[in-house]
Structure 1
Amino acid sequence: MSVPHVDYGFMVNPWIGAIAFSFSIMVILGTHEMGHYLVARRNGVDATLPYFIPAPFILGTMGAVINIRSFIPSKNSAIELGLSGPLAGMLVAIPITIAGVMMSPIVPITIFGESSMFLGEPLIFKFIAESLVTVTEGNSLYLHPVAFAGWAGIFVTMLNLIPMGQLDGGHIARAVLGPINHRYLSFIVAVSLFGIGIFTWAGWSLWGVIGIYLAYRGHPGSMDEITPIDRKHWIMVLVAIVLFVISTMIVPIKIG
């Protein structure tokens, strides 16, 4: 993303943007997984420190992961574990997005060619952008690499909060719904994503296929399935729903 900024005169050196993007996205993803790690340790769950998975496509990484090597003690613990990563990541993604938007130039739409990439606007990103800059008709916000990292962090938050399998949203759904309803929901969400992908963004169809696999694998649940969810953790469930809503975008990426 840095090279076009240099070509248009918005940036002196592409390495500046590349380093800024890489640092920003690693901070967001690393914070997401550290949130999981710290909450896991607090709840007595054996978990590894986060590590990053490199990838050749535009983000340069498939994210950071931790391995959970023991059972989750209770439904309340599962909710904490599911929310901790997305919440921690979002709390870092928001200031990074703000900084990135403030560094992003406003340009005429005419500079974009047929192969240009346009990004979806989740509610939280739209609110930040419209609060900081005014984009008049015929113009567009040309995202700085740091702003793109913030957008990617919000996108990752949405993906992880999908209530399916053993995703973060899946942990929460399993605690709230129980094993049978969680499995049904996982399959319904997976099939829905596959269908949505046919009409909107093809990436959703891929997620649908992944989701069917995750639904088939199921979720091990927690050791204590008897103790009910308390008020504090119901509030956490609502926070997770709000995070999912404000980070959702039907068409994340559009070319041309």
Structure 2
Amino acid sequence: MVRPADLLLGLMFNVPLLSILGVHEMGHYTAARRHRVRVSPPYFIPFLPIPPLPGTMGALIRLKSPFPDRNALMDIGAAGPLAGAVVAIPVLIAGLALSEVRRATGALGVPLGESLLFKLLSRIVLGEIPAGYDVILHPVAYAGWLGMYITMLNLIPAGQLDGGHVAFALFGERFSEVARLIPYALLLMGLAGNGWFVWAALLFVMGTGHPRPVFEEVPLTPARRAFGAAACLLFLLCFTLNPFPIGRG
């Protein structure tokens, strides 16, 4: 039987997570509209709520016309993850403030990998965690963690992912040869962390190529290069080699 308290906890997880994903996609949408690129409204993709995964595979928008130039490509590609992070970081901070530090008891739970950003915010909010203690994440904190994890996945520099848009805008066709190696790199990463094999398979199926903008000769402005550098930094800060270290030492 579902208890009212469980529904409240569910809302405290789902509302922040869907807010992060929604703002992420609206970042893409508004940037696309500003550059007069035809685009669909954001769509959320439902998924079976199998712990530790959420009941959604994220959200997406569908581009219906080509990118005008590399500046538009950068704006559209980077706006989503950067906008989502503006929401995810405060959500994670608030969630960590609601989380508990308890003595480790060996009870079963779902361990989560820690990115540089998570470690930094955890240290600021909770201080140093003593040996023999664990952080029991509040649902709001888990929503923030997932939001940053999904942001990192979107910034993988290949294909039609946000990171693929950013990389092509920064380096043009020169990056295509590097992008072809990304699925193989993910296969190697799969030896250390759960889930990378799935992303490698998806990239092998979807391909790592990227369509050229209509006016590819238009140079990238310094502001857009800074925009791309911020997206790359966000990827590094959110990167987690083994996000769900289940059954690993």
TM-score bracket for this pair, using the shorter chain length: over 0.9
- Matching residue of 2:222: 231
1:39 aligns with 2:31: yes
Deviations 1:164-191 (A, max 9, x none): 0010010111122223x33322221111
- Matching residue of 2:119: 126
The answer to whether the 8 Å contact 1:29/1:89 transfers is yes
The answer to whether the 8 Å contact 2:194/2:243 transfers is no
Moved over 3 A (4+): none
**One-letter code aligned to 1:82:** G
How far the C-alpha of 1:127 sits from its partner, in A, is 0.9
Give, in whole Å, the separation in 2 of the partners of 1:17 and 1:111: 24
Between the aligned residues of both structures, percent identity stands at: 38
Give, in whole Å, the separation in 1 of the partners of 2:41 and 2:23: 11
What SS does structure 2 have at the residue aligned with 1:107? strand
Give, in whole Å, the separation in 1 of the partners of 2:122 and 2:170: 35
What SS does structure 1 have at the residue aligned with 2:183? helix
How far the C-alpha of 1:112 sits from its partner, in A, is 2.4
1:68 aligns with 2:63: yes
Q: Which shows bigger deviation, 27-36 or 56-65?
A: 56-65
Give, in whole Å, the separation in 2 of the partners of 1:173 and 1:232: 15
- Matching residue of 1:136: 130
2:104 to 97, 109, 120: 109
- Matching residue of 1:193: 186
How far the C-alpha of 1:209 sits from its partner, in A, is 1.2
How far the C-alpha of 1:214 sits from its partner, in A, is 3.1
**One-letter code aligned to 1:137:** A
1:222 to 202, 210, 213: 213
The answer to whether the 8 Å contact 2:12/2:139 transfers is yes
The TM-score normalised by the length of structure 1 is: 0.90
| Structure-to-structure mapping, 1:45-84, within 5 angstroms | 45-56=37-48, 57=50, 58-84=53-79
**One-letter code aligned to 1:244:** F
Give, in whole Å, the separation in 2 of the partners of 1:49 and 1:225: 26
What SS does structure 2 have at the residue aligned with 1:140? strand
- Matching residue of 2:149: 155
The answer to whether the 8 Å contact 1:117/1:255 transfers is yes
1:90 to 73, 85, 91: 85
| Equivalenced residues, count | 242
What SS does structure 1 have at the residue aligned with 2:68? strand
**One-letter code aligned to 1:192:** A
Give, in whole Å, the separation in 2 of the partners of 1:90 and 1:112: 32
Give, in whole Å, the separation in 1 of the partners of 2:125 and 2:193: 28
Unmatched segments (≥5 aa) in structure 1: 7-11
The answer to whether the 8 Å contact 1:21/1:148 transfers is yes
Deviations 1:167-222 (A, max 9, x none): 0010111122223x33322221111101110x212311111111222335x22121
**One-letter code aligned to 1:25:** L
1:174 to 157, 160, 168: 168
Deviations 1:92-111 (A, max 9, x none): 00010011101111112214
The TM-score normalised by the length of structure 2 is: 0.93
CA RMSD of aligned residues (A): 1.6
What SS does structure 1 have at the residue aligned with 2:114? coil
- Matching residue of 2:176: 183
Unmatched segments (≥5 aa) in structure 2: none
**One-letter code aligned to 1:14:** D
